[in-house]
């Protein structure tokens, strides 16, 4: 085999591997739900939950160790929290069976 063929084979193999990684990695990523945000005053704060007052509503937002915090969280501080809605459970309800409807002979069309 000549050096030209060997070099071309390596370039071709690298290109195929690059394309496989590029398209394979893109399809393996999970789609993230839409981001939302709430801004208000912190009413309560602990390692698991931040309670924010927005107008007259109280928003209870879950918090994890991986939650990125910029600044110092403390009760009374104004904060903007970015969050995603994530399902905790999902329960499928079976559809109700259609009631048995018997024809009413009084309403039946007359036979010809």
| Interval 38-58 mean pLDDT | 96
Contacts of 90-95 with CB under 8 Å at 24 or more apart are none
Inter-CA distances, 43 with 1, 25, 83, Å:
75, 42, 18
**pTM of the entire structure?**
0.56
Residue with the two structure tokens 């071709």:
12
Res. 112: pLDDT tops 80: no
- The residues spanned by each domain of the chain are 1-30, 35-84
Domain range 35-84, CATH class: mainly beta
| Interval 6-20 mean pLDDT | 64
Q: Which residue has the higher pLDDT, 26 or 31?
A: 31
Spell out a b/e string for 44-68, using b for 16 or more CB atoms within 10 Å of the CB, else e: ebeeeebbbeeeeeebeeebeeeee
DSSP state, 29?
Answer: S
């Amino acid at each position: 085999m000549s050096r030209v063929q060997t070099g071309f084979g390596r370039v071709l193999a690298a290109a195929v591997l690059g394309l496989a990684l590029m398209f394979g990695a893109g399809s393996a990523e999970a789609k993230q739900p839409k981001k939302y945000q709430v801004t208000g005053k912190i009413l309560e704060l602990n390692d698991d939950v931040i309670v924010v007052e927005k107008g007259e509503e109280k928003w209870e937002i879950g918090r994890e160790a991986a939650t990125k915090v910029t600044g110092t969280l403390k009760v009374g501080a104004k904060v903007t929290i970015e969050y995603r809605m994530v399902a905790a459970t999902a329960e499928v309800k079976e559809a109700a069976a259609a009631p048995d409807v018997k024809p009413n002979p009084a309403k039946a069309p007359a036979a010809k």
